[in-house]
Structures are given as C-alpha cells and as structure tokens.
Structure 1
Amino acid sequence: MTAFTVVVVLVGLERLVELVVSKRNAAWSMARGGVESGFSHYPVMVVLHTGLLVGALVEAYVRRPDVPGALAWSMVVVVVLTQALRWWCIRTLGPQWNTRVIVVPGLAPVRRGPYALMPHPNYVAVVVEGVALPLVHAGWITALVFTVLNAVLLTVRIRVENQALASLEPARA
C-alpha cells in the first residue's frame, strides 16, 4: 500500500508540474492573440483526472486486493511510459502546449515528434495511464469507471480541439 500511495502521489505531483507549465504556456499563447475553445468541459476534465488519483487510492485502501507482483510491476512500467509520452508531447509543442484548448492564429499545427505518428498522442497517454495507474494495485473498478467517463469526455475534447486546430489550417482553393 505504501509503495502504491507513493506512485499515485508522484503522478499527482507530476500533474501539478504540468499545471505550472500549462499556466505559463497559456499566458504565452494569450499574449500572442490566442483563442480559447471549449472552456465548459475543462472543469469536468479537472474533476475526472483528480478522481482518477483519489479513486485509485480509495479503491486500494477499501478493497485491499491481493496484487500479483507481475501486474503491479508491469503497470508501473506502463505508467512510466505514459509519463514519457506525455512529456514528449509537452516538449514537442513547447510553449504551444497547455491543458486548455488555446490556439494562436498564424501558428501552424505541430506535425513533428509524436504528432507525426498520430493526431492526439497526449490523449493516448491519458487513456493508457487511466487503465494502468489503478491497476498497479489491482484497482479494476477505478480503471473501468475512469475509462468510460474519460471516453465520453475525450469525445467532446477531441471534437473541440480538432475544430480549433482546423481554424489554423490555410484555406484550400
């Protein structure tokens, strides 16, 4: 339990670092005429992601499941890989990355790094982490609930983000 709690706290601290970077980058974007889209779903996203961390801990402490070592360690590896993918996304987007949907008119969509491989790599990291983190301590209920709710949220978020990014595309004749 202690090791799992440490893992969840470390992921939570990583999220706080993301929020600091996001706030700085959002200010950078807004200073350059950035336009925010889809603000109404952002508080839901914050609650859901906080719920993942809290839910994983609550489930572990309430259910106290027997956790096979192979499951725990393999899921820790997956969680670490999702963090690596997330930070690859953050570094690739540079000051254009933030947790909101803000686009700066005149800047082209980024198509390098993980974005050369897929359109929304950060969301791949979120989806995989949403399963893997609770499963570090056999938290299948949290993994399932988060996955279902996150699928609904990402349907909205990706639609909003795609529309915002499409506004950056040059008009085609």
Structure 2
Amino acid sequence: MLSDLIGLPQIIALLVLLQRGAEELYSARNTRALIAAGAKEAGRSYYPVVATTHLAWIASIFFLIPASASASYLLAAIYIALQGVRYWVISTLGRFWTHRIFTLEGAPVTLRGPYRYLRHPNYAVTIAETFLLPAVFGALAVGVIMGAVWTAVLAYKIELEDEALSVRRAHSEQAVATQRTEI
C-alpha cells in the first residue's frame, strides 16, 4: 500500500529536494555571473563529493525513516527557524552565494550579517539541519551518521574555501581595522 511507503518523512524529503533544487538554480545563475566577472573556482574536483553527500542525506530521510514515523513539532519548528538562518546567509552573500567555491579578486570578504558571528555560518546551518531533520522523526541514528559524514566533508571544504579566500580575507580584515582606527 502506498501509505506504507510514503508518509510525512518522505514528503518532507521531497520538499527539501525541491528547496535545494531551487537553490541550485540560484547558485548556477550566480556561478555564471561570477565566472563572467573573472572569478576563479577552487576545489572543483571536490564538488561532486559535496553534492553526493547532500543527496545521500535527503535520500536517507526518504528511504531510512519509516513512513509511519511520528514528528516532533518542537523540533520541526526549530528546523523551520533554521531555514530562516539559512536564507539570512544566502541573502547576505547575495550574488556571491554558490554551492561551489569561487573567489573574485578584489571583492571584499563578507563580514556582515551572520558572518559577524561565525566565519562559516552556512556550514554550521548545514550540519545542524543534518542532525535536526532526522531527529524530527526520531531517527537519531540517521542524524548522527549523516551528521558525521557531513561534518567530515564540510571540514575539508572549509579548508579549501579558507585557502581560496585567504588573500581576500586579509585585505578585508585590514580594511575593517583601518576603518576602526579612523573612527
């Protein structure tokens, strides 16, 4: 019976897939514009690992959580609030937000919005939601396993990103320090 296979966890997994698909369209548009402006990509060969991990997380929710799993509305509300933080990150980066790592020489590194508080808020959100969404349905093991995988994948992506942005970050931090001394 279809109701034994498709329940709220599967519907949510499909909605997350649609959400991330829409984000991919936005990312692709920004990527094209950045390349046209002369941006260089770092870690290109690593991107398939990131994309596969993301799809594996969504698939784990779809296939490993029973259709009959009940939901914690408190955890669901926290997950939804976390999406607000996710879109705060995306809107803060604006045209510079992509799924991949691009750097545009001379462009300042963003130090506003959530970047005032964390160097990599996008990845903090990703790791938090990876643990949280399966927990909404009581699938703690799925959250822990996929969270551990995502943490390892993103730790390396952060290394790649920090290396790619190091020169721009130094210039941005120097500009901020100069502004503070002029005030």
Taking structure 1 as the reference length, the TM-score comes to: 0.89
Q: How many residues align?
A: 167
- Specify the alignment match of 2:60 in structure 1: 55
Which portions of structure 1, spanning 4 or more consecutive aligned residues, are displaced by more than 6 angstroms?
none
Distance 1:80 1:34 in 2: 33
Identity, in percent, stands at 26
Q: Does 1:132 align with 2:132?
A: yes
Amino acid at match of 2:147: T
- Give, in angstroms, the shift of residue 142 of structure 1: 1.4
TM-score relative to the length of structure 2: 0.85
Instruction: Give the 5 Å matches for 1:1-173.
Output: 2-61=7-66, 67=70, 72-168=72-168, 169-170=170-171
After superposition, the C-alpha distances for 1:59-99 in whole angstroms (9 at most, x for unaligned) are 2138x55x4x5xx2122112212211111111111101100
Unaligned ranges ≥5, structure 2? 1-5, 175-183
Give how far 1:152 is off. 1.1
SS in 1 for 2:66: helix
Q: SS state of the match for residue 38, structure 2?
A: coil
Distance 1:51 1:115 in 2: 28
- How far the C-alpha of 1:43 sits from its partner, in A, is 0.5
Partners of 2:131 and 2:144 within 8 A in 1 = yes
Write the distance in 2 (CA, Å) between the matches of 1:125 and 1:82: 7
Greater alpha carbon shift after TM alignment, 52-61 vs 107-116? 52-61
